[in-house]
Amino acid sequence: METIRKRRSVKRRFIDRPVEDDVLKRILESACWAPSAHNSQPWRFLAIRNNDVKRKLAENMAIAWRRDLEKDLIQRDKLETRISASIDRISNSPLLIVACLTMEDMQKHSDDRRQKCEYIMGVQSVAAAIQNLLLAAHDLNLGSCWMCAPLFSQAAVKETLGIPEHVEPQALITLGYFEGSIEPPPRKSLTEIVRMNGW
């Protein structure tokens, strides 16, 4: 409970210290112990330390994001500020992990309704692995932040990183050691979110 309650999303504040290989291995092993539909373990992870690769990924994702923001009619100065901050955030993280989904070991169904459910089960399985990863990172004194940006720029992520066609980027996790403390964000009360025996 303490680890769950004390974990925070660290968006910047990373110090210039690499994440050791054994720490990375422990974090990824923790992710792989998550539950998954049919025990299919549909997650795949790509760890990125190389600064040039991080920068190229951030810039290519920003191109796709820019197109989306322009459609939303975001003011030019705000658009540029948001994009610049995103590029810096991704580029300056000591370690990135791209969490991906593959449906290759998930069940195949003959109808669209059940196949859509199977896909959602795969996404949920990857999300469970990401949560394990985040908790393990916190337990090992690392800061992390789960970013869903790859969902909006999957083609750019796949092309930049050479991800195969059958593997789908789902999330980007920034990781690193950090200094200082972060206040917890507000949480809704159980009375707001819980129903008993029916809605």
* Token representation of residue 168: 């789908």
Residue 187 lies in a domain: no
Is residue 101 within a helix (H) or strand (E), and if so which, with residue range? strand 95-102
Residue 185 lies in a domain: no
Residue 134 lies in a domain: yes
Q: What is the mean pLDDT of residues 186-191?
A: 94
Query: Is the CB of residue 60 less than 8 Å from the CB of residue 148?
Result: no
| pLDDT tens sequence across 18-62 | 999 999 999 999 999 999 999 999 999 999 999 999 999 999 999
Instruction: Give me the phi and psi of 151, to 5 degrees please.
Output: -65, -30
| pLDDT tens sequence across 163-177 | 999 999 999 999 999
| pLDDT tens sequence across 88-132 | 999 999 999 999 999 999 889 999 999 999 999 999 999 999 999
Residue 199 lies in a domain: no
Range(s) of the domain holding residue 113? 2-178
Reported confidence tier of residue 11, pLDDT bands at 50, 70, 90: confident
Q: What is the pLDDT of the chain when averaged over all its residues?
A: 94
CATH number of the structural domain spanning residue 41: 3.40.109.10
Residue 43 lies in a domain: yes
DSSP 34: S
Residue whose token pair is 């992710």:
31
- For the chain, what is the domain count? 1
Length of the chain: 199
What pLDDT shows up at residue 13?
83
Residue 92 lies in a domain: yes
Residue 6 lies in a domain: yes
Residue whose token pair is 């169904």:
109
The whole model's pTM is what? Answer: 0.93
Q: What is the mean pLDDT of residues 136-148?
A: 95
Residue 186 lies in a domain: no
- Where residue 132 falls (left for φ over 0; alpha for ψ -120 to 50; beta otherwise) is alpha
